[in-house]
Structure 1
C-alpha cells in the first residue's frame, strides 16, 4: 500500500507512493511512483512491476532511502552476493562431507517400529506423514541425515523426533536430544519419558539440574552403552561425555546455541544422523533456493482436535474481566500466562494480579534475573507447581505447557502481528478451549497501524487462517536463524526477495547449473507500442487490488493464461476496458518475447518494428516458427517486418498476440493462478 517501503531491483530502497497516469504521453501505461532520498521520484512503468517488491528485512534495523543514481544499492548487492556465495559453498561442503561419510543406515523391517508409531493417540496430519516418510528415507540411506524440521509448537515435531529416536535404538544405536536451556531439557525429558514409558527404552537427563553424583553415573552409563536416549543441554557436547554407539542427534532450536557449540555440531553432522527442530517457520521460497543443499520439512497443518483460540481486545484496567478470566482458568485446574514486557513495573503488575486472584500461586520471570532465581520459577510453572507465570516475553518459543490455556498480553499495541501470533501460540495446545486477551490502556489513543495489527490478530484466530500474513516477518527471522546472524544483516541490506534470488543464483553457480538471468528471473522485453495500457481507477478504485492484479498479469506465461486471467477479472469486476486488456497483453508479451531473444521493441518507419536483441539465434528460430520476416541490422539490432497495411498501436499489439498464440498452440500451458487478491 502507499507509504510502504519497497526495493527497486536497480535503484534500491524507496517508498511506494501509489499508482498514477503518465501525463507526458497521451497513449501510455500506468506508472508506479517511487520516492527515493532527497524527495526524488521515479516513475516506473506498471509493466515493470517485476522490478519492485515490498521491502522485508530481518528486523532490528533502521531504513534509509537510497539516492537515485548513487550506485549504493549495486555496491550493497555485490557485497551480499559475495557473502551468499560463501554460505552456499559452506553448506555444499558440509553436504559433500556427509556424502563421503560412512553413515549409519538403519533397517526398517522391525515390526515394533510400526506398533510404536500406531500407538500415537492422534492421527497424523498430511504434513506429519510426509515429513516422517522423508525422515525414514534419510535414516535408511548410507549417508548421514541432516534434516531441518519446522513447525509451530504443538504441530507434532516432538512425536516425529520420538519415532526417529525409537528407530535408532531398535537399530542398536544411542540417541541424544540437545536443547538450548535447562527448562526445555526438563520439558523434553518429561514428554519423551511418557512417550517411551511402555517400550523399555533407558532414558536419562543431563543438565545442571541433575545432581553431580547422578551426572557422573549417566556419563559412565552412556560410555558403557547402558543408556539408549539422553536429553540435555550443551553439557552433552563436553569432552568427558562419550557414547558407545551414537547414531542420532536431535537438536532443538540450534540458532540459540553459541558459536563453539555450533562448530562441534558441524563436525558431528558428517558422522551421525542429525534431525534439527525449530518452531520458527522458514519461507517456502527459501526451501526452493536451498534445494539440494539443505533438507527441510515443514509442518503447517494444525493437528486434529486443536481448537481455535478465543481472542479479544480489552482494556487493561478492566479488573472485573481479568478476575473472571483468571477464575475461569484456575477453577478448571489450569494455568495462566500474563505477559508484561517492562521489567521495572513487573513486580507491581504481579501484585495487582495477586489481588485479583488471591489464592493463586504466582511466579515471576524476566531476562535480567539471576539464573539461580529464574530457573526455579520457570520450572515451578512447567511442573504445574505454580498457577500463574507473570513474565516478560522470555516465554520460550519451544515451551509447551498443555495445562496453560489463558494468556494476557499487556500493552498488546506495542507488538507486531507475528510477535502477538507467537505469544498467543503459548496456549491452546491441548483439547481444552483457550483464551487470549490483548490488553490496551484505556483513554490512550492508538495509532491506525496499531489498531490494524490488533484487529488482524483478533480476526486471524482460526487455525491456519491468514497464515502467510501473520507469519511473514516471523518467517524472515526464521531465514536469519537458519543462515546465521550475519546473514540477517545481509537480508536487511537488500531485502529478503533480492537476498533469496542471490542465494539461488549462488547455489546454481556452485552446482554448475544454468541460470536464466543475472538476478535469477526470466528475461523480459521492453515494449513501447504507443498503446494506452492501464487499470483505470474508474474501473477498480482500490489501489491494493490494482497492484494485486498487476502481479497476476506479471505471472501470465501463455496466451491461454492471459485469457483465463482476464476472464477472472471480468467475473469479479465486470467487463474490463480496452486499456486493461492491452496492459495484460503487454505483460504476457514482455515475458514471451524476452524468452525468444528480444530485449526491446518499438515502432519504426512504415510496417516495421525496431528491435534490440538479447539472443540473435533465438530470434531467428522464433521468426521461422512465427512465419514472419526478420532482418538483422547490427550486432544486437534488427527489424521485424510487419504485414502490409498493419497500423501501429492496437493492431500491432493484436498481431503480436496472434503470433505468440500460434507459436504456443502446440504446447501445454502451465496452470495459472488467477485470483486477484493473491500477490
Structure 2
C-alpha cells in the first residue's frame, strides 16, 4: 500500500516537537496533508513602494536611510522610539512603540526597510516590522502569508514549518484532476498551486494557485454529489405515473390563464420525471409570483389521474388555507377531492379526514406540520409537494416522504439562488427554474423613507385607500421589547387609527388564535378592512389583488429575501403598486439592504445580495443546512466556478471511460474514500 500525506503525522516534519504537535491538533492539523492544506486567509505585502504611491492610513513598506539621532521616551512601563529617515525625496519620522532595543541599531547613514501605517499629515510611519539589508532581508520584497494562529503557535513559526513541510514532502503531493480539465481551464499542477498559495512570488501567482484549488474543491464536491445520483438513480424505484398528455392538456386548458413559456418548459420536466421508474426529487425555484403553485397543481392532478394520492405541505395555516381554496377551484370540475389538515383541524373533523385519507377517498391533502404526525396514513401516496421547504427540517421532509413507498418529491422555493445552493449542492436534486413572471404582473416601485418622513408615508396610505385600494403595514414585533427598539404592531395600529379615523384598519399577529386570524384575513380579502397592520405572518400565503401598497416599518430588521417576500404581497392586480421601507439603519449591512431593495425587484438578484451580506452560514442556519465547509472556496464569490464544476462533473460521469481509464483512477479512489458506493440516501 502506497504511503500518502494523509498517513504521515505532522510530527514527522523537522522542527515539530511533541508539544507543538499537540498545539497543531487544536487547529485540526494532524497530518502533513492537513498542514499543507491549512491556507492563509490574507497576505502582508512587504514589497517596497515610494511614499507618493501611498494614501493616508495605508500600510506601506519603504526602503529608507537613517538621517537623525533616535529619540527614546519612556512613560510608565512603556516606551516610544522616534527617528528621522529619508526615502527618495521624502523625509519622515519612523516610530516604534515598546521596542527600545532598536535605538542602538539606528546608526546615522544606515539603510533600513520599515513597514507600518503611513500618517501623511504627520509624515510618520508607525513601524510594525523592520529589516536591515546589511544583515540580509527575509521579508523585504515578498508577500508573507497570514494564518489563523493562537496559543503557542506564532505566525513566524507556522510559516517556517509549512515551508519545511513543502521542502520535505512537496514531491509527494498527488495530482488528482485529469489533464483534460487542467488544460481546459489552464490550471497549474496541484503541487505548484499549494506551494504558491503559501509563498506566492506575486499577487497573480497566488491568485492562480487559489483558482486551481478552489476549482478542485468545488469539482470534487460536485463529483461526489453527481456520482451519488448516477449510482443510486437506478436503485431508487419510485412511483410510475401513467397519466397521458391529453388528460393533462384538458386540465391546463381549464385554467383561467395561459401558462408562460417557462411554466410550459418546467411542466414537461416535472411530468417526464413523474413518468419515469425512478423517484423524482426536483426543486422548483422561482421569484415571488412566478406561478409555482399552478405547476404544483398540474403535478397533483397527474398524480390523482394515475391512481395515487398527493400531499402539499406548507409552513403556515394561512398559506394552507389559501392553497386549499385555489386547488378546490381548479380541481372541482374534475371531481378531485381536496382535504385540509392543520393544527386547528381537530375532533370529529380530523378523524373523518384521517379515515378518508387512509381509505383513499381524499385525493389531495394540504397541510402544515400536522401532515407528519404518526397517526396520518395514506392509502397510496404518489407525490409530496413541499412549499417554502427551507422552513422545514430535513427530518420533517423525510417523515412525510416515508408515508408512501418512495413517492415523487417536488420542492418549491421563492428565494432562488442561496437556498438553491444549499439544497442542490447538497443532495440528489434536479432543478427547474421559472425565470419569467406571468403576463400582466405589474412592476413594484420601491422607496426608502426615514422615520422622520412618516407623515408622508401616512399620506400615501391615505391616497391609496381613497382610490379604493388596500395597504399592508408590517412590523417586526407584536409588543414592547426591552432588547429591540422597534415599532410594534399594536402601537402602530393605534397610531394609524388616530391618523386615519375614516379608514378601516385591521390588526393581525402571531398570538391571535387561528380563527381570529382567519376572520381578519377574510375581512381584508373581501375589502372590508382597507389597511392591515400585521407582523410577518403575511410573508407567505396572502393573495389580495386589490392591495397596492406595502409599508415595512424598521425594515432594516429584516433580511433581504424576507423583505422581497413581503414586497411580493402587492403587485398582484392590475394597478400600480408600491413598497415603502421605513428605516434608519445604523449598520452598513442595514444600509446595503435598503439600497439593494430600491435598486432591483428581481428575486434572483435580491437573494444573491442577501447571501453576500449575510454569508451562507447565517443565511441558512448552518446546523440544519448541510452546507459543505470548504477551505478556500466561497459559495458566493465562486458561484460561477461552482456551476462550471457541476457541469464538468456531470459530463465526466456520463463518459464511460471514467469508470475504467487510468487517468481517472485518483478520482475513483476519492469516491471510494468518500463511501459514495455505499448508497446511503442523501438529503
Indicate the SS of the match to 1:197. Answer: helix
Q: Which segment is superposed worse, 451-460 or 196-205?
A: 451-460
Counterpart of 2:600 in structure 1 is 460
Counterpart check, 1:323 vs 2:458: yes
Q: Which segment is superposed worse, 142-151 or 39-48?
A: 39-48
The question of whether the paired residues in 1 share the 8 Å contact of 2:559 and 2:610 is answered with no
User: 1:41-60 to 2 correspondence within 5 Å?
Assistant: 44-46=202-204, 48-50=206-208
The question of whether the paired residues in 2 share the 8 Å contact of 1:178 and 1:251 is answered with yes
User: 1:124-163 to 2 correspondence within 5 Å?
Assistant: 124-163=259-298
Counterpart check, 1:240 vs 2:375: yes
Distance, in Å, in 2 between the alignment partners of 1:175 and 1:277 is 15
Counterpart of 2:125 in structure 1 is none
User: 1:7-18 to 2 correspondence within 5 Å?
Assistant: 11-14=39-42
Counterpart of 2:99 in structure 1 is none
Counterpart of 2:472 in structure 1 is 337
Counterpart of 1:440 in structure 2 is 583
User: 1:220-619 to 2 correspondence within 5 Å?
Assistant: 220-258=355-393, 260-268=395-403, 271-282=406-417, 286=421, 290=425, 293-342=428-477, 343-344=479-480, 345-346=487-488, 347-366=490-509, 369=511, 375-376=517-518, 379-380=521-522, 383-384=525-526, 386-397=529-540, 399-415=542-558, 417-441=560-584, 450-461=590-601, 463=602, 466=605, 470=609, 472-473=611-612, 485=624, 487-488=626-627, 490=629, 495-496=634-635
Distance, in Å, in 1 between the alignment partners of 2:419 and 2:206 is 24
Distance, in Å, in 2 between the alignment partners of 1:396 and 1:148 is 21
Offset at residue 107 of structure 1 (A) = 2.5
Encode CA deviations 1:356-395: one digit per residue, 9 max, x unaligned.
232444444556x366688457745775464433334454
The question of whether the paired residues in 2 share the 8 Å contact of 1:363 and 1:377 is answered with no
Distance, in Å, in 2 between the alignment partners of 1:321 and 1:380 is 29
Offset at residue 232 of structure 1 (A) = 1.3
Distance, in Å, in 2 between the alignment partners of 1:377 and 1:15 is 61
Unaligned runs of 5+ in 2: 1-35, 51-60, 64-140, 157-198, 481-486, 669-683
Encode CA deviations 1:143-189: one digit per residue, 9 max, x unaligned.
22121111223111101011111111222222111222222211111
C-alpha RMSD over aligned residues: 5.2
The question of whether the paired residues in 2 share the 8 Å contact of 1:31 and 1:46 is answered with no
Indicate the SS of the match to 1:250. Answer: strand
The question of whether the paired residues in 2 share the 8 Å contact of 1:189 and 1:204 is answered with yes
The question of whether the paired residues in 2 share the 8 Å contact of 1:289 and 1:507 is answered with no
Please identify the structure whose Cα radius of gyration is greater. 2
Offset at residue 451 of structure 1 (A) = 4.6
Offset at residue 278 of structure 1 (A) = 1.6
C-alpha distance 92-373 of structure 1, shift in aligned 2 (>3 A): farther
Greater RCO (CA < 8 Å, at least 6 residues apart): 1
Distance, in Å, in 1 between the alignment partners of 2:339 and 2:276 is 28
Distance, in Å, in 2 between the alignment partners of 1:398 and 1:303 is 18
Offset at residue 49 of structure 1 (A) = 3.3
Counterpart of 1:183 in structure 2 is 318
The question of whether the paired residues in 1 share the 8 Å contact of 2:550 and 2:580 is answered with yes
Distance, in Å, in 2 between the alignment partners of 1:329 and 1:159 is 30
Counterpart check, 1:105 vs 2:244: no
Distance, in Å, in 2 between the alignment partners of 1:200 and 1:449 is 52
Counterpart of 1:657 in structure 2 is none
Q: Number of aligned pairs?
A: 479
Provide the TM-score with structure 2 as the length reference.
0.57
C-alpha distance 225-380 of structure 1, shift in aligned 2 (>3 A): same
Distance, in Å, in 1 between the alignment partners of 2:614 and 2:255 is 29
Distance, in Å, in 1 between the alignment partners of 2:382 and 2:573 is 32
C-alpha distance 269-133 of structure 1, shift in aligned 2 (>3 A): farther
Distance, in Å, in 2 between the alignment partners of 1:435 and 1:33 is 52
The question of whether the paired residues in 1 share the 8 Å contact of 2:426 and 2:626 is answered with no
Counterpart of 2:113 in structure 1 is none
Encode CA deviations 1:324-375: one digit per residue, 9 max, x unaligned.
32233334554322222244241222211222232444444556x3666884
Distance, in Å, in 1 between the alignment partners of 2:508 and 2:43 is 40
C-alpha distance 181-469 of structure 1, shift in aligned 2 (>3 A): closer
The question of whether the paired residues in 2 share the 8 Å contact of 1:364 and 1:377 is answered with no
Offset at residue 239 of structure 1 (A) = 3.4
Distance, in Å, in 1 between the alignment partners of 2:617 and 2:412 is 12
Provide the TM-score with structure 1 as the length reference.
0.58
C-alpha distance 111-386 of structure 1, shift in aligned 2 (>3 A): same
Offset at residue 207 of structure 1 (A) = 1.7
C-alpha distance 362-478 of structure 1, shift in aligned 2 (>3 A): farther
The question of whether the paired residues in 2 share the 8 Å contact of 1:206 and 1:231 is answered with yes
Encode CA deviations 1:564-586: one digit per residue, 9 max, x unaligned.
xxxxxxxxxxxxxxxxxxxxxxx
Distance, in Å, in 1 between the alignment partners of 2:315 and 2:531 is 24
Counterpart of 1:205 in structure 2 is 340
The question of whether the paired residues in 1 share the 8 Å contact of 2:424 and 2:431 is answered with no
The question of whether the paired residues in 2 share the 8 Å contact of 1:255 and 1:484 is answered with no
Indicate the SS of the match to 1:426. Answer: coil
Counterpart of 1:620 in structure 2 is none
C-alpha distance 498-435 of structure 1, shift in aligned 2 (>3 A): closer
Counterpart of 1:582 in structure 2 is none
Unaligned runs of 5+ in 1: 1-7, 54-72, 521-679
Indicate the SS of the match to 1:205. Answer: strand
The question of whether the paired residues in 1 share the 8 Å contact of 2:401 and 2:409 is answered with no
Indicate the SS of the match to 2:442. Answer: coil
Offset at residue 136 of structure 1 (A) = 0.9
Offset at residue 223 of structure 1 (A) = 2.4
